[in-house]
């Protein structure tokens, strides 16, 4: 790098060990000039891929777009003027350093790219570009140091050493600052965008990048809720991509695509196999096609949101370990009276910036992951409801209305609850490993005492989770029987009133409910015990580690730096340790969902994964299909104004609309035989 610049790249005496810090001209012309360019070129492929799949119509060429394009062209011209000035010096005998050829070329090409990107975003309907806002912001931040350095150098020397480059740099800085200010403004809506007919549309759809980043679009509703209680018409409509008809359709299309791929793969495997004998063909049954896992369809449909949440979570986790290191530097600065004063201001400023960045990224992660959980729930409910309309009468006899309702109301909600904890599968071990590593750097082998305590507590929490899972399965069985009995009671309410059987059925329902409450009480006790243990774990780990560090060697002194840095690292370690029991508990519930309440579910399936994918062939076409649709519609709640009949097959009673019929024996105690 020194050969490229023709001077020294880094000088510690100039930049660190001084009361008036500065950086070398080589560092200014290389690193500070290249950082924004590297960012834009690195983000370009992913951003272009995003724009190609999010076309929203083009935006008419407005005055704002013209000015931003003109600024980009001017910046490109300034960079090329610097390049031509270097060639002019080369021709006239005073050869400038190679950095004066490389940097203007790189910056000029990057400015041309930014100008073209402005117009491409306009054609794709982008009203506010986050990529370009960050690019212009980096250009301004990296230009502040040369801005100050050139002024200080001119004041120290009493003259400007290179007036031409001095002038072009300040023109460049003014243009970049203007581009940053203009990029914060929003463009007009796209020309051919669909008209929004919602009575109260959500402002998030039209919010700019900075408004989305700071959730400023929510401010109006927050102020309104402060002034008066919110009412129904004050709430915004859902965004288009969060509505059920869009989410369910995307999920069904992805599911159909995976089923076709699985069918083609199985057909290719079958054609490649040779049957050993004709007897196997005659006597052997036809192999049943295996359905691809429904989880794969969910992840393929919402995988982009999940990857984005992983990026946010990873960035936030890494940023959380910067503040303890900065705290260590700050304590060393305070204990060193000869250190320059600006060190303390720099470290405090970096800690503030790191905390702000961590807060912004963490809230974007929460917003992304909770919206994805809501889409999970919407898609699962929609798929279950569609399947309930096409199951045949034979399948209807194996699965009651109560089981289907529980799938949509209870089990789908559990999947929504578990989505925010999915990233902890990799995030919690990562945070624990990094925390233990930095603690080892600070306290040495004494940290193994705290790690051993954490490892000893994991089997205890696992045993509690297994027991809670067993309680959950038993509770779902009781809930199914209660909902089934309530459906029969409501369907045969005339018969109950006629024979005055209300006390008998009330006692049956109350007995089942008491069993449910008993299981819920035991599960609550277990959950409270597990939560108490893991809340106490960080304190016990900290006490054990610090006590071991002090007692293992007399030379180990617990000074302010080791104590405060260790406590901050233990506070970071406390978060994954506190979330670990919730993670295990929430993952255990969808593992055994409400569908696995007996040996059969919808279509004899065991578990929600098997319940959702299977669509009975008899429910698709032909007379059997029409009968299957008719039977599937029976027993479900119809819209107001439709004359429907309640139907429960198997041991459940059947009462058509005109009136109650004879009640079968196995109806749960409605009446004697016949």
Got the DSSP string for 595-654?
Answer: T-SSS--GGG--SHHHHTT---GGGTSHHHHHHHHHHHHTTSPPPTT----EE--TTS-E
Q: What is the token pair recorded at 666?
A: 């196995």
Kindly indicate the confidence band of residue 41, based on its pLDDT and cuts at 50, 70 and 90: very high
Shared domain for 253 and 349, answered yes or no, is yes
**Based on the domain organization, do 89 and 224 belong to the same domain?**
no
Domain-located, residue 44: yes
The answer on 453 and 434 residing in a single domain is: no
Q: How far is it, in rounded angstroms, from Cα 181 to Cα 187?
A: 13
Over the stretch 427-482, which tens digit does the pLDDT of each residue have? 988 998 898 899 888 888 888 888 888 778 777 777 777 787 788 788 888 887 88
What is the Cα–Cα distance from 652 to 668, expressed in whole angstroms?
Answer: 8
Helix (H, G, I), strand (E, B) or coil at 280: helix
What span, in angstroms and rounded, lies between the C-alpha atoms of 564 and 542?
12
- Asked if pLDDT for residue 34 goes beyond 70, the answer is yes
Instruction: Check residue 289 and give its pLDDT.
Output: 55
Residue 567 lies in a domain: no
CB 559 within 8 A of CB 508: no
30 and 178 share a domain? yes
Tell me the average pLDDT across 367-377: 90
Across residues 403-425, what is the average pLDDT?
Answer: 79
Q: Is 662 within a domain?
A: no
**Better-predicted residue by pLDDT, 580 or 40:** 40
Burial profile 616-631: b = 16 or more Cβ within 10 angstroms, e = fewer = bebbeeeebbeebbeb
Percent of the chain with pLDDT over 90: 21
Q: Is residue 648 part of a domain?
A: no
Average pLDDT over residues 65-70: 92
Single residue among 535, 558, 581 that ends a domain in this structure = 558
Check residue 193 and give its pLDDT: 65
Dist CA 81 CA 652 (whole Å): 87
Tokens describing residue 65:
């777009």
Q: Give residue 264's pLDDT band: very low, low, confident or very high (50, 70, 90).
A: confident
pLDDT of residue 585: 64
Say yes or no: 77 and 120 in one domain.
yes
Q: Are residues 93 and 162 in the same domain?
A: yes
- Phi then psi for 646, rounded to 5 degrees? -90, 130
* Longest Cα–Cα distance in the chain: 115
Structure-derived torsion over alpha carbons of residues 277, 278, 280, 286, reported in degrees to the nearest 10: 130
Lowest mean pLDDT among 238-252, 277-291, 641-655: 641-655
Share of the chain above pLDDT 70, in %: 81
Residue 242 counted as domain residue: no
Helix (H) or strand (E) holding 75: helix 63-91
Q: Taking the model in full, what pTM does it have?
A: 0.74
Indicate whether 637 pLDDT > 50. no
DSSP letter for each residue of 489-517 = HHHTHHHHHHHT-HHHHHHHHHHHHHHHH
Average pLDDT over residues 55-72: 87
Eight-state DSSP code of residue 396: H
Residue 646 lies in a domain: no
User: Whole-number mean pLDDT of the chain?
Assistant: 78
592 has pLDDT over 90: no
Give dist(CA 400, CA 487) in Å, integer.
9
Query: Quick one: pLDDT band at residue 627, thresholds 50, 70, 90?
Result: very low
Angstrom distance (rounded) from CA 64 to CA 126: 13
In a shared domain, residues 457 and 519: yes
**Per-range mean pLDDT, top range of 40-44, 623-627, 641-645:** 40-44
Residues 496, 549 within the same domain: yes
Do 184 and 232 lie in a common domain?
no
Predicted local confidence at residue 600, as pLDDT? 37
* Strongest mean pLDDT among 81-95, 324-338, 560-574: 324-338
140 vs 625, residue with greater confidence? 140
**Boundary residue ending a domain (514, 540, 558):** 558
Question: Is the pLDDT score of 352 beyond 90?
Answer: yes
> Within 13 Å and on the Cβ side, how many CA atoms surround 673?
0
Q: In the prediction, which pLDDT does 170 show?
A: 92
Domain that holds residue 544: 444-558
User: Confidence band (pLDDT; 50, 70, 90) for 494?
Assistant: confident
Where does a domain end: 542, 558, 574?
Answer: 558
pLDDT in tens, 127-154: 888 899 999 999 999 999 999 888 988 8
Do 322 and 460 share a domain, yes or no?
no
* Lowest-pLDDT choice from 122-131, 132-141, 199-208, 652-661: 652-661
Residue 537 lies in a domain: yes
Span 147-176, average pLDDT: 88
Give the count of domains, the chain.
4
- What pLDDT is stored for residue 469 in this prediction? 76
With CA atoms as reference, report the closest residue to 145 among 288, 294, 310, 15: 15
At residue 355's C-alpha, the angle toward residues 352 and 358, to 5°, is 150
Quick: pLDDT tens for 520-544.
898 888 888 877 887 787 788 888 8
Q: Which one is predicted more confidently, 400 or 279?
A: 400
Look at residue 16 and tell me if it is in a domain. Answer: no
Question: CA nearest 561: which of 319, 320, 324, 321?
Answer: 324
* Cα–Cα dist 99/121, whole Å: 32
On whether both 408 and 542 belong to a single domain, the answer is no
The answer to whether residues 437 and 550 belong to one domain is: no
For residue 192, the model assigns a pLDDT of 67
């Amino acid at each position: 790098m020194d050969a490229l610049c023709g001077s020294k790249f880094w000088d510690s005496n100039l930049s660190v060990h001084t009361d008036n810090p500065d950086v070398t001209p080589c560092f200014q012309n290389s690193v500070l000039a290249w950082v924004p360019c590297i960012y834009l070129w690195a983000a370009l492929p992913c951003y272009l891929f995003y724009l190609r799949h999010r076309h929203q119509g083009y935006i008419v060429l407005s005055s704002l777009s013209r000015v931003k394009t003109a600024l980009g062209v001017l910046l490109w011209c300034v960079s090329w003027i610097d390049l031509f000035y270097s060639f002019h010096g080369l021709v006239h005998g005073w050869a400038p350093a190679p950095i004066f050829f490389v940097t203007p070329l790189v910056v000029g090409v990057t400015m041309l790219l930014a100008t073209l990107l402005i117009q491409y975003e306009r054609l794709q309907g982008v009203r506010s570009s986050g990529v370009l806002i960050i690019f212009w912001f980096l250009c301004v931040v990296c230009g502040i140091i040369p801005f100050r350095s050139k002024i200080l150098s001119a004041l120290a020397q009493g003259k400007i050493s290179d007036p031409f480059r001095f002038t072009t740099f300040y023109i460049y800085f003014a243009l970049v600052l203007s581009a940053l200010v203009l990029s914060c403004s929003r463009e007009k809506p796209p020309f051919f965008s669909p008209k929004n007919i919602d009575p109260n549309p959500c402002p998030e759809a039209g919010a700019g990048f900075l408004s989305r980043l700071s959730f400023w679009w929510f401010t109006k509703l927050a102020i309104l809720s402060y002034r008066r209680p919110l009412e129904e018409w004050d709430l915004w409509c859902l965004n288009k991509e969060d509505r059920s008809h869009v989410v369910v359709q995307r999920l069904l299309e992805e599911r159909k695509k995976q089923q076709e791929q699985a069918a083609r793969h199985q057909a290719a495997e079958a054609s490649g196999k040779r049957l050993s004998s004709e007897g196997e063909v005659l006597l052997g049954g036809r192999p049943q096609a295996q359905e691809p896992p429904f989880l794969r369809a969910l992840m393929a449909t919402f995988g982009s949101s999940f990857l984005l949440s992983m990026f946010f979570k990873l960035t936030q986790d890494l940023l959380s370990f910067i503040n303890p290191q900065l705290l260590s530097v700050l304590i060393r600065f305070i204990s060193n009276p000869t250190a320059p004063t600006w060190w303390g201001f720099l470290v405090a400023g970096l800690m503030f910036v790191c905390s702000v960045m961590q807060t912004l990224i963490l809230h974007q992660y929460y917003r992304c992951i909770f919206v994805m959980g809501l889409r999970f729930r919407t898609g699962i409910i929609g798929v279950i409801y569609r399947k309930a309309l096409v199951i045949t009468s034979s399948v209807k006899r194996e699965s009651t209305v109560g089981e289907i309702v529980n799938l949509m109301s209870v089990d789908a909600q559990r999947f929504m609850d578990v989505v925010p904890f999915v990233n902890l599968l990799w995030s919690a071990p990562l945070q624990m490993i990094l925390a233990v590593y930095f603690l080892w750097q600070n306290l040495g082998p004494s940290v193994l005492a705290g790690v051993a305590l954490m490892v000893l507590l994991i089997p205890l929490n696992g045993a509690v989770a297994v027991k809670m899972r067993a309680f959950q399965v038993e509770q779902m069985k009781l809930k199914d029987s209660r909902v089934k009995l309530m459906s029969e009671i409501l369907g045969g309410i005339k018969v109950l009133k006629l024979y005055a059987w209300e006390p008998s059925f009330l006692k049956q329902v109350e007995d089942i409910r008491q069993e449910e409450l008993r299981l819920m009480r035991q599960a609550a006790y277990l959950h409270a015990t597990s939560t108490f243990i893991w809340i106490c774990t960080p304190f016990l780990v900290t006490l054990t580690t610090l006590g071991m560090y002090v007692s293992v060697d007399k030379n180990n002194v617990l000074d302010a730096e080791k104590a405060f840095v260790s406590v901050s690292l233990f506070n970071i370690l406390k978060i994954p340790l506190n979330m670990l029991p919730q993670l295990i508990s929430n993952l255990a519930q969808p593992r055994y969902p409400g569908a696995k309440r007996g040996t059969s579910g919808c279509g004899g399936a065991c578990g929600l994964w098997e319940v959702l994918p299977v669509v009975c062939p008899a429910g698709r076409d032909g007379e059997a299909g029409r009968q299957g649709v008719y039977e599937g519609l029976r027993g479900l709640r119809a819209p107001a104004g439709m004359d429907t009949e309640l139907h429960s097959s198997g041991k459940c009673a059947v009462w058509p609309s005109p009136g109650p019929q004879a009640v079968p024996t196995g109806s749960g105690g409605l009446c004697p035989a016949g």
